[in-house]
């Protein structure tokens, strides 16, 4: 969105003069969902008029889906966190604290020291 773009641009401008030493204690984190099937019902087919039923334009998919898996990880100049797999359900604030912040981020922050800075997007669970 335009708001996200403006926020990213503002962040870049605010930190454009940071040197390598400023970035060392920063941990960037994100999560991503991966579908376990080839079709997540977001596939788009571009076709010419009259080619709707052509075999190359037909996608088969499992009617009930094969599920998905969400993973979370963090990277910094000094290393990375373990990749955490959220095997079931969605990520809520309580799961984020119990499965990510306490067991993964807190020990990483302790190893970095007092200058540690956690960078995360503004997803609702955060």
Backbone angles phi, psi at 35, to 5 degrees: -80, 145
CATH for the stretch 20-119 = 3.30.420.10
The ranges assigned to domains in the chain are 20-119
Torsion of CA 57, 60, 65, 68, to 10 degrees: -60
Residue 10: which pLDDT band, with cuts at 50, 70 and 90? very high
Classify residue 116 by burial, with Cβ atoms within 10 Å: 0-12, 13-18, 19+. middle
| Residue 91, pLDDT score | 80
pLDDT digits (tens, 9 = 90+) for 28-57: 999 988 877 665 556 667 778 888 778 777
Which span out of 63-67, 71-75, 84-88 was modeled with the highest average pLDDT?
71-75
């Amino acid at each position: 969105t335009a708001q996200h773009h403006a926020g990213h641009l503002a962040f870049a401008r605010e930190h454009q003069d940071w040197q390598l030493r400023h970035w060392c204690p920063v941990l960037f984190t994100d999560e991503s969902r991966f579908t376990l099937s080839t079709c997540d019902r977001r596939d788009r087919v571009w076709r010419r008029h009259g080619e709707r039923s052509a075999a190359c334009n037909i996608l088969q998919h499992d009617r009930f889906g094969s599920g998905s898996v969400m993973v979370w990880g963090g990277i910094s100049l000094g290393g990375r966190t373990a990749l955490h797999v959220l095997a079931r359900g969605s990520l809520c604030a309580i799961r984020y604290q119990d499965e990510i912040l306490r067991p993964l981020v807190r020990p990483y922050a302790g190893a970095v020291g007092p200058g540690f800075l956690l960078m995360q997007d503004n997803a609702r669970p955060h």
